[in-house]
Each structure stands twice: as structure tokens, then as C-alpha cells.
Amino acid sequence: DIQMTQSPASLSASLGETVTIECRASEDIYNGLAWYQQKPGKSPQLLIYNANSLHTGVPSRFSGSGSGTQYSLKINSLQSEDVASYFCQQYYDYPTFGGGTKLELK
Amino acid sequence: QVNLLQSRAALVKPGASVKLSCKASGYTFTDYYIHWVKQSHGKSLEWIGYINPNSGYTNYNEKFKSKATLTVDKSTNTAYMELSRLTSEDSATYYCTRVGDEDWFAYWGQGTLVTVSS
């Protein structure tokens, strides 16, 4: 199985700040990576696919980048509605997820 | 619009089985695999497996091969997952999900909370 290591596990940031979440794969996943946002009591929602493609309806302050084994999710100008947990997932092989990042407001 | 409607929360006794449902609408049911994902409380996500609704072919995460059984009823556009020999480790929220144009999970059910307790 491909292991996904996500960091940090938790993050505290101020409104308007830029935050970055990292995800490292145990082997090359050739951009087969998605990012999801999950709010408490809700199901995960797709943000980014193919490492850097924005899903329909997702605000442009979200962006994804990376290649090979290293990927990141950036949120520009943090808004209150961005408080959530974020997960990366590779689909190059059988799906595996990162451990998640809990984003809170400072 | 694509919708995946899952069954209600379940409270089950240790050693028992439970069958969860996922009713699909808004698309042709047999055109896309249905996947199932486990989320233990406050933790990350684990892929359980998928079923091809057209053929009934299944593919499981090795970890769940003896725990989960995936089936479908094409007449009602419903996918099912049966979990057997339940223990406290099986207490979790279970999601059904469908891929988008390729292999990312674009559509999710609302989740079913399974609590295993005597």
C-alpha cells in the first residue's frame, strides 16, 4: 500500500492568513492526488483533484501543487468558513488517505 | 444532481452483523463503481472496497476482506455493505462514495454511524 503522511496534524491561523498543508507519499503517485475538506458532522467534500485541478464550485483561494511524492494544499486569505479538517488521498494505487489536518482559527 | 442517500445510524451488539444501504440517484447507477470508506471517530479515512453495480464484481482492501461484503440491487439503485462479527473496533462512520470523471471521490453519502455496544 502507498502510505500518505500529512502534516501538520493541527494548525491554528488568523483570518486573512495563508496556510499550507503538506502531504508526502511513500512512492511516486504521478499527480494522482486529491484534497478534501470535512466540517464537523459532515461528509468529506472534494476540493482538488489531479494534484492541482480545482473542483467545480470550490473558491479560487484554494490551490494544490506538487509532483512525485510531495504535494501541498494552500489556502489564501483564510476565511472563517475554512475551519475544517483537510485530508489528502492518493488514487494512483488502491486509495489511501493522509492522517488529516485540523485547521482552527487563532 | 448526483445524490447518495445512506441508511440511518445503527446500534448493534458485539458479535452481530449489520447491513448498511446507499441509494443512488441523479445518474445511471450501473455506470460508476460505488466505494465504501470507514472513518473512526475523529480519525482519518480508510478505503474498504468497491463494487461494480453492473457486474457485481468487488474489490476489497485486504484489511476488510473478512469484515465487509458489498452487494447491489440494480432494481432499486441501491448498494449495500454488510459488516460481520462486529467488535468495538468497527464503531465508526461509514460512507459510500462515487468517483467523478476519474478516480477521485467526487460524491459522498451523508454517512452512517455504526455503534457497537452491548
Mean pLDDT of B80-105: 95
The mean pLDDT value of chain A amounts to: 97
What is the C-alpha separation between B45 and B63, in angstroms, rounded? 13
Tell me if chain B has a CB within 8 Å of the CB of A86. Answer: no
pLDDT at A26: 98
Which residues in chain B are contacts of A84 at CB distance < 8 A? Answer: none
Instruction: Say how many CA atoms lie within 13 Å of A41 toward its Cβ.
Output: 0
Beta bridge partners of B112: B94
Kindly give, in sequence order, each residue whose CB lies less than 8 Å from that of residue B84, ignoring residues fewer than 6 positions away: B17, B66, B67, B68, B69
Q: Compute the average pLDDT of residues B60-85.
A: 98
pLDDT at A57: 95
The Cα of B17 is separated from the nearest Cα of chain A by a number of Å equal to 24
Beta strands at A101-105 and A10-13: parallel, antiparallel or unpaired: parallel
Query: Which pLDDT score is estimated for B101?
Result: 82
Nearest CA in chain A to B106: A46
Question: Measured in Å, how far apart are chain A's first and last C-alpha atoms?
Answer: 36
Share of chain A above pLDDT 70, in %: 100
Using a CB-CB cut-off of 8 Å, the residues of chain A touching B3 are none
CB contact under 8 Å between A97 and B45, yes or no, is yes
pLDDT category of residue B43 using cuts at 50, 70 and 90: confident
Look up residue A27 and give its DSSP letter: S
Percent of chain B with pLDDT over 70: 100
Sign of CA dihedral B3, B9, B14, B18: negative
Q: Which three cell numbers stand for residue A54?
A: 480545482
Burial class (CB in 10 A: 0-12, 13-18, 19+), A91: buried
* The pLDDT of residue B42 is above 80: no
SS3 B65: coil
Residue range A70-92: mean pLDDT, rounded: 97
Q: Which of A62-76, B25-39, B41-55 has the lowest mean pLDDT?
A: B41-55
pLDDT at A46: 97
Q: How far is B43 from chain A (nearest CA, A)?
A: 7
Q: Given a cut of 80, is residue A78 above it in pLDDT?
A: yes
Region B3-23: mean pLDDT is: 98
Q: How far apart are CA B18 and CA B4, in angstroms?
A: 19
Amino acid B41: pLDDT: 81
Cα–Cα distance for residue pair A22/A33, rounded to 1 Å: 12
